[in-house]
Amino acid sequence: MKQLNIALVGQPNVGKSMLINSISDSRLRVGNFSGVTVEKAEVSFDFHGVSIRIIDLPGTYSLNDYTQDERVTKEFLENEDYDMIINVVDATNLERNLFLTTQLLEFNKKMIVALNMMDEAKKEGMCINEEQLGNILGVPCVKVSAATKQGVGKLVNRIVDFSNFDFEGTKLIYSEVVEEEIRNIVEFLEEKNFDSKLDYRVLALKLLQEDKSTYKKMHDEPIWIELLPIIREALNHLYLHYNTKNIDEIFDEEKAAFAKGAALETLECSTCKSINTTEKVDSVLIHKIFGIPIFLFLMWGLFQLTFEVGSIPMDWIDAFFISLGEYAKTIFGDGALGSLIADGAIAGVGAVVLFLPNIVILFFGIALLETTGYMSRVAFLLDGFFHKFGLHGKSFIPLVTGFGCSVPAYMSARTLKNDKDRLITLFIIGFMSCGAKLPVYVLFAGAFFGPEKAGNVLFAIYIIGAILGLIAAKILKVFVFKGKDEPFVMEMPKYRMPSFKLIWHTVVTKALMYLKKAGTFILAASVLIWFASNYPKNEELIGSFETKIQLAVSDEEKTSLENELKKAKLEASYLGIVGKATEPLFAPLGFDWRMTVALETGLAAKEVVVSTLGVLYALGDEVDEGNGSLMEEIRKNIPFASAVSFIFFVMIYLPCFAASIVFAKESGSYKYLAYLFVFTTSVAWIISFIAYRITLMLL
C-alpha cells in the first residue's frame, strides 16, 4: 500500500489539534519529540488504498530558532522524511498566517494550505477566494472548519489526489526589485548553460540569500569568477533599495509584503464587523482593578476542585490499594514475598495512581484556560510582578499548583514555551510547600506552638517558602540561567468556546503520559525503598523480640514491644545505617539520627516523614500528625531550635520520588535532576543552619 507521510504545520492556535482530530477518528498516538519535552501527536489511517500518517508539529509563528517549539518544527521540516506539508491557516488572521506560509514554500515540498476556521470567518463577514489564493501561492488551498467538520472530507481527498501528481515546485514571486536580480543571475546561468541539479531560479535565490552550502559548492565552479561580480552588484542594489545590509531582514520584508499582497487580493469583507465580544470580555477580565481578583477567584475555584473534589477518589484509590495489599498478604503470606508485593509493588503502584485524580482535574482546568484563550490574559496580568523575579506571567499556574502537589505542577510548566523560563519555574516549584508536607508542619507546629498559634505558624511557613522560592528564582536567573532576557511577545488570542472533545483529548493524553512515563520509574523506586528499609534482616533480633512478645502478659506490653521491634528493624536496615552514617552531616543543623532517617525516608514521600518519626519514637507506624503522644514525644526529645531547623529543611529539600521523576522528564534531562538535588539540598542546609543558629541565639 502506498504510504503518505504528512507534516501538519501552522501557527499556534489555528486549530491543528482539532483538525487532526476531525480528520480521523482513529486514536492519536502521543509522545515526545526525541530529546525534548515537546509533545508529538500523530495519527495513521487508511483512505482509498493509501496509508496516511499525519504528524502534528508544534505551533510556530515563524521558522526561526526562537523557542523550543520552533526549533523542533524547523528541524523536522529540514531533516525528516515526509511527502507533503499541510499548512493550517487561520482564515480570520490571513495575513499573519500567510507569512509562515511563505517560509514554508521555501522548503520546496508538496504543500496544501488548509484555510481553517471558515465558520468563524463567515460569521465575521469575510469572504476568501481560495482559487485565487491557490494561484498566487502556487499550491492548492482548501477551505475547512475543524469545528464543524465542513470541508474536512474534501481536504483528505485533495491530499490523496495531490500526492499522485508530479511535483512542479513551489514558487514565491518577490517584488520587482528582487525579481530583476534573480532574472539577471538566471540569464547568466542560461547563457553559460551551467550544469546544475537545482533549478536556476532556486539556485539564484540561494545565492542572493547567502546560503552557505550553496556558496561552498559554487566556489569550486569555473564560472564563479564571472558570477561573483553579478551577485555582488545584485546585493548592492538590494542593500541600497532596502536601506539595510542584513539580507535576512530584506527577505523577511519581502515575504511580509508577499503575504500582505496575497491577503489583500483574495480577502473580501462584505461587512467585516470585527467581532467585539473579545474586547468586551477583556474589559472585565483584564480590568486594571478587577482583573487580578477575578483571576484569583478562578484559581481558587480550580484548586478547590483539584484538591478537595480530587481527594474523594484519592481516598477510594488509597483504600483500594491498601485492601489490595492486605489481600496480597493473605495470598503470599507475611514473609518477604508478601511484603515485597504488598508494601513494595502494590504500595508503589498505589502511590502512582493516587495522583491521577489531581492530574485529571487540574489539567481539565488548565486545558479550559488555554483553549478559551484566558491563559494569555493571565500572563498579561501577572507578568509585571513575576518578571521582577526572573519568571514569566505564566509561571503562576505551575507555582500555585505546587502548593497542592508538585507532580501536576511540574507537568503544567509546559505552558511556558521558553526554555529558561520553564527551567527556572521547575526549579522553584518545590519551594511551594505541597500538600504532603502539611502533616509534618502540623505535627511540629502543634508540638511546639500549641493549638492557638499553630494556624498562624502554618501560614507563615507557607509564605516564607514562597518568598524563598521567589528569591531563589532571582538568584538562579542572575547566576545560573543568566544572559539576556528573552523578549516577551505573546499573542492574545480571541476568546473561544471550549471544545470538550479537545479538552478531553488533552486530559487523556496527560494522564496516559504520566502513567506510562512516571509510573514505571516510581514503581521501581518504591521497590528500591521498600528494600532499603527492610533489609538486611537481623533474624536474631527479630527472634529475640518475638519470644519477648509471646511472653508479654498484657496487650499494652505487647504493642510496646512490637513498636520496639519496628524501631529496631528500621535501625538495622540499610536506610537506618545510611541515616546513622549521615548523621554528622546534619549535626550542625541540630538533627539527631532519627530526624536524619525521617528526612531520608521522606524522599519517598513526604507523608512518610511523620510515620517514620512514629516508628523511631517507638510509637508504631499507625501514627498521624494529630497524634497526641507523638507530639508529646517530639516535644520531649527534640530541642526547639532543631525543630525550627527541621521545618525549614522539609520546606526546601527535594520533593518526593514521584515528583523528582516527573521533574526529570519535564526538564528534559536527568542532569537537571542532579542539579535540583544539589540545589535544593544545599539551599535547605544553609537556610536550616541559619535558622538553627538564630533560634539558638534568641533562646
Partner 1 sequence: MVTLADLKAGESVKIINVKADKDLKQRLGSFGVRKNSIVKVVNHSIAKSTIEIEVATTKIALRAQEAKEIEVEAL
Distance in Å, CB of 8 to ligand GTP, minimum: 9
Q: What is the DSSP letter of 147?
A: T
Burial 519-541 (b: 16+ CB within 10 A, else e): bebbbebbbebbebbbeeeeeee
Write out the three cell numbers for 53. Answer: 500518517
- Minimum CB distance to ligand GTP, residue 22 (Å): 8
Residue 485: contacted member of ligand GTP, partner 1, none (CB under 5 to 8 Å, by partner type): partner 1
Q: How far is the CB of 411 from partner 1 (least distance, A)?
A: 25
- Strand partners of residue 150: 145
491 contact choice in partner 1, ligand GTP, none (CB below 5 to 8 Å, kind-dependent): partner 1
Q: In what order do the strands lie in the sheet with 141-143?
A: 29-32, 39-47, 50-56, 2-10, 84-90, 110-116, 141-143
Distance CA 148, CA 638 (A): 66
Count residues binding ligand GTP (CB under 6 A). 20
Residues 39-68 that bind ligand GTP (CB under 6 A): 59
Taking the complex as a whole, how short is the minimal distance between the CB of residue 207 and ligand GTP, in angstroms? Answer: 34
| H helix or E strand, kind and range, residue 42 | strand 39-47
By CB atoms closer than 10 A (0-12, 13-18, 19+), residue 150 is middle
Residue 145 interacting entry, from ligand GTP, partner 1, none, C-beta within 5 to 8 Å by type: ligand GTP
Smallest separation, CB 106 to partner 1 (Å): 15
Which does residue 227 bind out of ligand GTP, partner 1, none, counting CB within 5 to 8 angstroms by kind? none
Helix (H, G, I), strand (E, B) or coil at 21: helix
Peptide linkage before 140 cis (omega within 30 of 0): no
Residue with cell 480571541: 494
The reply on whether position 15 binds ligand GTP by CB under 6 A is: yes
Of the pair 253, 583, the CB lying nearest partner 1 is at 253
Q: Could you give the CA distance from residue 74 to residue 536 in angstroms, rounded to a whole number?
A: 54
> Which helix (DSSP H) or strand (DSSP E) does residue 83 occupy?
none
Site string for ligand GTP, 489-508 (x = CB under 6 A): -------x--x--x------
Q: Which is nearer to ligand GTP, 167 or 500 (CB)?
A: 500
The residue (of 105 and 502) whose beta carbon lies closer to ligand GTP is 502
Burial class (CB within 10 angstroms; exposed 0-12, middle 13-18, buried 19+) of 485: exposed
CA separation, residue 6 to residues 53, 54, 81, 383, 549 (Å)? 6, 5, 9, 37, 71
Min dist CB 301 to ligand GTP, Å, is: 20
CB neighbourhood size of 220 (10 A): 7
Q: Please state, in angstroms and rounded to a whole number, the distance separating the CA atoms of residues 508 and 362.
A: 12
Applying CB under 8 A, the residues found at the interface with partner 1 are 61-62, 64, 66, 92-93, 95-96, 99-100, 246, 248-249, 252-253, 256, 274, 278-279, 282, 286, 288, 291-292, 376, 379-381, 383-384, 387, 393, 485, 487-493
Which residues lie closer than 8 Å to 211 by C-beta, 6 or more apart?
none
Of 27 and 537, CB closest to ligand GTP: 27
Q: Which stretch binds ligand GTP (CB under 6 A): 113-121, 414-422, 573-581, 680-688?
A: 113-121
- Give me 416's grid cell: 511556558
Task: Name the minimum Å distance from CB 369 to ligand GTP.
Answer: 11
Q: Which does 489 bind (CB under 5 to 8 A by kind): ligand GTP, partner 1, none?
A: partner 1
- Per CB under 6 A, the list member of 103, 371, 660, 667 interacting with ligand GTP is 371
* Minimum CB distance to partner 1 smaller for 92 or for 660: 92
DSSP annotation of 34 reads T
Q: 403 Cβ partners below 8 Å, 6+ apart?
A: 303, 432, 433, 434, 435, 462
| Residue 238 beta carbon to partner 1: minimum distance, rounded to whole angstroms | 16
* Residue 35, C-alpha cell as written in the block: 530529546
Alpha-helical runs (H) found in 88-243? 94-105, 118-123, 130-137, 152-164, 176-192, 200-208, 212-219, 224-242
What residues numbered 145-184 form the site for ligand GTP, per CB under 6 A? 145-147
Based on CB atoms, which residue is closest to ligand GTP, 117 or 424?
A: 117
Per-residue binding string, ligand GTP, 457-496, x by CB under 6 A, is: ---------------------------------------x
Task: Please select the residue that binds ligand GTP; options are 4, 9, 13, 647, rule is CB under 6 A.
Answer: 13
d(CA 253, CA 235): 15
Burial environment of residue 80 by CB neighbours within 10 A (0 to 12, 13 to 18, 19 or more): exposed
Residue 515 contacts which entry, ligand GTP, partner 1, none (Cβ below 5-8 A, type-dependent): none
User: If contact means CB under 5 to 8 A according to the sort of partner, which of partner 1, ligand GTP, none does residue 100 touch?
Assistant: partner 1
Q: Could you tell which of partner 1, ligand GTP, none binds residue 594, using a CB distance below 5 to 8 A set by kind? A: none
Return the one option of partner 1, ligand GTP, none that residue 59 interacts with (CB less than 5 to 8 A, by type): ligand GTP
C-beta closer to partner 1: residue 376 or 506? 376
φ/ψ (deg, to 5) at 184: -55, -45
Query: Nearest residue to ligand GTP, using CB?
Result: 59
Q: Name the one range near ligand GTP by CB under 6 A: 144-152, 163-171, 250-258, 428-436.
A: 144-152
Instruction: CB nearer to ligand GTP: give 417 or 594.
Output: 417
Q: By C-beta, is 248 or 622 nearer to partner 1?
A: 248
For residues 59 and 398, which CB has a smaller minimum distance to ligand GTP in the complex? Answer: 59
Cα–Cα distance between 531 and 339 in angstroms, integer? 10
Alpha-carbon span 302 to 304, nearest angstrom: 6
Q: How far is the CB of 283 from partner 1 (least distance, A)?
A: 9
Shorter beta-carbon distance to partner 1: residue 48 or 388: 388
Measured from the CB atom, the residue of 24 and 163 that comes closer to ligand GTP is 24
What distances in angstroms separate CA 440 from CA 290, 458, 585, 693, one per listed residue?
Answer: 37, 10, 21, 21
Instruction: Kindly state the cell numbers that stand for 109.
Output: 515540498
For ligand GTP, the binding residue among 117, 565, 643, 661 (CB under 6 A) is: 117
Segment contacting ligand GTP by CB under 6 A, of 142-150, 250-258, 440-448, 687-695? 142-150
If the CB atoms of residues 156 and 285 are measured against partner 1, the closer one turns out to be 285
When the beta carbons of 375 and 658 are compared against partner 1, the nearer one is 375
Burial class, 222, CB count within 10 angstroms (exposed 0-12 / middle 13-18 / buried 19+): exposed
Q: Is 570 in the site for ligand GTP (CB under 6 A)?
A: no
Instruction: Name the site residues for ligand GTP (rule: CB under 6 A).
Output: 10, 12-18, 59, 116-117, 119-120, 145-147, 371, 496, 499, 502
